[in-house]
């Protein structure tokens, strides 16, 4: 039969309990803390991953909404740009039209002025030629009595103008301003001293 020593058994039990306690405090608890820590880290990572997934889903939804509206925004921007370009085009067209009309008016005015100037110059030259030819014709063809009668008729007309048409005389005086009213008459023949005194 076995011979068991009680003290050995007690010593073995105490030894086992000490070893179990040492293993519990030195090995089991740190391992459990490490396992709990890793579990907490995993749980934190799972939560963060879920948050990141939610954020990614939110961003994807927002991006999809932006992309859906991007076409509308681009179309609105293009439409606004086209309207602005059309407005600027119309304004430029009106400005160009006004400039063309102004140039045409100036060109017509210049042409009219040049034509009037040419007519005036031609008229003055024509009058000078008519007066000169008339003087030559009268001096050669008309007798001195006709010449004297024409000079007398001119003098009478000037005096009559002063008596009956004072309004015209006043208009001439206002046109002369400060100048002395003098009538220069060119005759076909030289005037006699009596005719010059008229």
Mean pLDDT, rounded, for 4-17: 89
Same domain for 127 and 149, yes or no, is: no
Mean pLDDT, rounded, for 24-34: 91
Given a contact cutoff of 8 angstroms between Cβ atoms, the answer to whether 197 and 152 are in contact is no
Same domain for 10 and 84, yes or no, is: yes
Instruction: State the chain's mean pLDDT as an integer.
Output: 82
Same domain for 179 and 111, yes or no, is: no
pLDDT band at 13 (very low <50, low <70, confident <90, very high): very high
pLDDT band at 198 (very low <50, low <70, confident <90, very high): low
Encoding tokens for residue 120? 């005036």
Number of H helices, E strands in the chain: 5, 0
Q: Which residues lie below 8 Å from residue 183, measured CB to CB, with a gap of 6+?
A: 158
Checking if the pLDDT of 71 tops 90, the result is no
Per the structure, the count of domains in the chain is 2
pLDDT band at 180 (very low <50, low <70, confident <90, very high): low
Checking if the pLDDT of 153 tops 70, the result is yes
Same domain for 3 and 69, yes or no, is: yes
Checking if the pLDDT of 109 tops 60, the result is yes
């Amino acid at each position: 039969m076995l011979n068991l020593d009680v003290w050995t058994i007690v010593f073995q039990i105490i030894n086992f309990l000490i070893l179990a306690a040492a293993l519990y405090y030195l090995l089991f608890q740190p391992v459990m803390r490490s396992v709990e820590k890793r579990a907490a880290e995993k749980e934190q990572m799972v939560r963060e991953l879920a948050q990141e997934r939610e954020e990614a889903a939110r961003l994807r939804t927002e991006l999809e909404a932006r992309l859906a509206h991007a076409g509308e925004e681009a179309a609105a921007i293009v439409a606004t740009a086209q309207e602005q370009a059309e407005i600027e085009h119309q304004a430029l067209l009106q400005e160009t039209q006004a400039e063309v009309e102004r140039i045409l008016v100036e060109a017509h005015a210049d042409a009219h002025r040049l034509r009037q100037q040419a007519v005036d110059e031609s008229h003055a030259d024509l009058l000078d030629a008519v007066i000169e030819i008339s003087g030559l014709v009268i001096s050669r063809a008309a007798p001195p009595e006709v010449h004297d009668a024409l000079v007398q008729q001119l003098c009478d007309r000037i005096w009559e103008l002063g008596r009956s048409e004072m309004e015209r005389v006043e208009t001439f005086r206002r046109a002369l301003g400060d100048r002395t009213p003098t009538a220069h008459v060119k005759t076909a023949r030289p005037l006699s001293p009596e005719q010059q005194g008229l």
